[in-house]
Structure 1
């Protein structure tokens, strides 16, 4: 199942299963708790910025907000409990508001949704697609580039940035000549 389908289909039952089975964080899944729903806390803003930057600069990913994670006996970050977000609708509004400000350039097609667990309490899920227009810098007090590796976010090294800037799509011109039904490619090269 691809990430977008998983994002669309995750239910409260699935999230509870993550907790009961101590689902490990991985390359495309991260669990986060927050201090308050209005995202006024600088650590919450930084978590959003780092998540957007790292997942967009890597293979994409999901952040499930309102699930606590800590290292298990093997030292792997796992879901350990629900930490429902009070005023979940305000939190969703703030996620939507800050997403465009949290990274530069903006990551296209980021999505947020909530799952209510009780009256205006719940968890939120953020879908961050892999980006072809990166690298994306985390803002909100960070001003650094991140990537996802394993179950963690890491600052991009200089060589990573060079590689990412070098990977930008290049325009490709294909020219064909046609003589009746037969098309023949024409190669054109430009030298400096």
Structure 2
């Protein structure tokens, strides 16, 4: 994924603060195909109307090469036929909760978009919203029955040739996988358990997926099913890996597949040997979709743990990254991958 925030600010999106945006607009700035500025101002209507302009811009980035959108930027000015943005910010006066804002954006754009991140920056109850949007593998996307794109540094209705090209590039459905923590408890003073559910969802409205399979790995705990002879073929690595091949023959849009599993472990041993952490990795893919990873770390050093809502154990999660993205993150190249595989 492209780090647009680092390109413009020298910081990751989550590291930005209000002063970074203020300093950014001390100098004249122009929009481009990779960055868009949205002012918050009564001339654009109420909060809802202002937000529509933001969603339209996000839709355009999804259909183009991705980019950064700053909501609360200065009002545009014309200088020698060039539109520039400089000076005082026009911050949003309302604080919109991040999850509900993401939901509102997702509900407004079809098909369902992914890889949209937000940082909300606050100063004296004034708010700047910075959106980092990645190019979509599932474009073209629509907002209010129109396909939008970034063309010549502006958000414009996408021309027919671009829409046709975007349709042709769609080759695989968007499958997402999640681990949910359901229940934590103890059998005795030596053995604890954690019930998890494995959830696979197809978010592509017009494409089914077939023959979906997945693996779940947990180096610090064993799957209880591995202790039962009739189920043991589904487990490897001495019970630390659960394999589900061919269980999902067809996965329709909006009909999640959910399967429960139980992990068993010695909590005292985890706390002594593994710095109180457990790792869970879900690896999944289908006939037409790319291999993806969802990774989690659970921290058991928090003291009392809620048995019926152990979500508080989650200390880290990185969900639905493709194998290609993972290799890029790890710095894997063709050369060192071949060297590892071929051992020469």
Using structure 1 for the length normalisation, give the TM-score: 0.74
Does structure 1 residue 125 correspond to structure 2 residue 130?
A: yes
Distance in 2, matches of 1:125 and 1:30, equals 10
Distance in 1, matches of 2:80 and 2:21, equals 22
Aligned equivalent of 1:160: 162
Q: Say whether the 8 Å CA contact 1:54–1:148 is kept in structure 2.
A: yes
Q: CA deviation at 1:52?
A: 1.8
Larger proportion of strand: 2
Aligned equivalent of 1:146: 148
Distance in 2, matches of 1:48 and 1:94, equals 15
After superposition, the Cα gap between the structure-2 partners of 1:68 and 1:4, relative to the gap in structure 1 and judged at 3 Å, is: closer
Distance in 1, matches of 2:102 and 2:84, equals 27
Aligned equivalent of 2:116: 110
Distance in 1, matches of 2:133 and 2:50, equals 17
Aligned residue pairs: how many? Answer: 166
Structure 2: which 5+ residue stretches go unaligned?
A: 7-11, 173-287, 290-344
Aligned equivalent of 1:50: 56
The structure with higher relative contact order (CA 8 Å, sep 6+) is 1
Aligned equivalent of 1:18: 24
Aligned equivalent of 1:29: 35
Matched ranges for 1:159-178 at <5 A: 159-169=161-171
1:73 to 67, 74, 79: 79
1:7-58 residue CA offsets vs partner (Å, 9 max, x unmatched): 334332321222210221111111112358xx96553242133112100000
Distance in 1, matches of 2:148 and 2:53, equals 11
1:74-96 residue CA offsets vs partner (Å, 9 max, x unmatched): 33332232012223x23646522
After superposition, the Cα gap between the structure-2 partners of 1:91 and 1:29, relative to the gap in structure 1 and judged at 3 Å, is: farther
Does structure 1 residue 8 correspond to structure 2 residue 14?
A: yes
Q: Say whether the 8 Å CA contact 1:85–1:122 is kept in structure 2.
A: yes
Distance in 2, matches of 1:34 and 1:165, equals 33
1:82 to 89, 92, 105: 89
Once superposed, what is the RMSD of the aligned Cα atoms? 2.7
Q: Say whether the 8 Å CA contact 2:40–2:73 is kept in structure 1.
A: no
Q: Say whether the 8 Å CA contact 2:148–2:155 is kept in structure 1.
A: yes
Bigger shift: residues 74-83 or 58-67:
74-83
Using structure 2 for the length normalisation, give the TM-score: 0.43
Structure 1: which 5+ residue stretches go unaligned?
A: 173-192
After superposition, the Cα gap between the structure-2 partners of 1:23 and 1:108, relative to the gap in structure 1 and judged at 3 Å, is: same
After superposition, the Cα gap between the structure-2 partners of 1:149 and 1:91, relative to the gap in structure 1 and judged at 3 Å, is: farther
1:102-124 residue CA offsets vs partner (Å, 9 max, x unmatched): 21012102111211111x22211
